[in-house]
């Protein structure tokens, strides 16, 4: 018998990563996707990074202005779950369903 489980992560995750626009480690907030990778937005400049495909380069097609994205990310920082903690949680859920 096989079971299908859909596990939803938190609304936001946070991490400190290197931003090429800000030229250094900056706080970033995004959405964690177990299967699709995590998309993080830099609080300093609003650049959007896809951690799964090409983290070193910001996404030039991100929606909205950089200022709006940075302000939204900053507003979500305090309520966001640390990214590494959420990754561990999702991996544990995946292991228990096998």
In this predicted structure, what is the pLDDT of residue 38?
Answer: 81
The confidence band for 71, taking pLDDT boundaries of 50, 70 and 90, is: very high
For residue 37, the enclosing domain spans: 13-89
CA distance 97 to 68: 39
Per residue in 22-69, pLDDT tens?
Answer: 998 889 998 876 666 788 899 999 998 887 766 667 777 778 888 998
CA distance 47 to 25: 13
In this predicted structure, what is the pLDDT of residue 11?
Answer: 66
Q: Is residue 2 one of the residues assigned to a domain?
A: no
Q: Is residue 4 one of the residues assigned to a domain?
A: no
Looking at the predicted structure, is the pLDDT value of residue 4 above 60? Answer: no
Domain count, the chain: 1
Q: Is residue 22 one of the residues assigned to a domain?
A: yes
Q: Is residue 63 one of the residues assigned to a domain?
A: yes
What integer is the mean pLDDT of 61-90? 84
Q: Is residue 76 one of the residues assigned to a domain?
A: yes
| Range in 27-31, 66-70, 71-75, 88-92 the model is least confident about | 88-92
End-to-end alpha-carbon separation of the chain, Å?
Answer: 11
Residue corresponding to tokens 């990214």? 83
The 13-19 sheet, strands edge to edge: 48-50, 39-42, 24-31, 13-19, 81-82
Q: Is residue 75 one of the residues assigned to a domain?
A: yes
Q: Is residue 6 one of the residues assigned to a domain?
A: no
- Secondary structure of residue 28 in the 3-state scheme: strand
Better pLDDT: 96 or 71: 71
Q: Is residue 95 one of the residues assigned to a domain?
A: no
Rounded percentage of the chain residues whose pLDDT exceeds 90: 19
């Amino acid at each position: 018998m096989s079971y299908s489980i859909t596990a939803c992560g938190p609304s936001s995750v946070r991490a400190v990563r290197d931003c090429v626009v800000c030229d250094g480690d900056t706080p970033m907030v995004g959405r964690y996707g177990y299967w699709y990778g995590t998309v993080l937005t830099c609080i300093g400049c609003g650049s959007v990074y896809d951690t799964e495909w090409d983290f070193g380069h910001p996404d030039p097609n991100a929606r909205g202005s950089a200022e709006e994205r940075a302000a939204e990310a900053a507003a979500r920082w305090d309520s966001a779950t640390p990214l590494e903690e959420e990754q561990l949680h999702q991996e544990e859920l995946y292991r228990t369903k096998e």
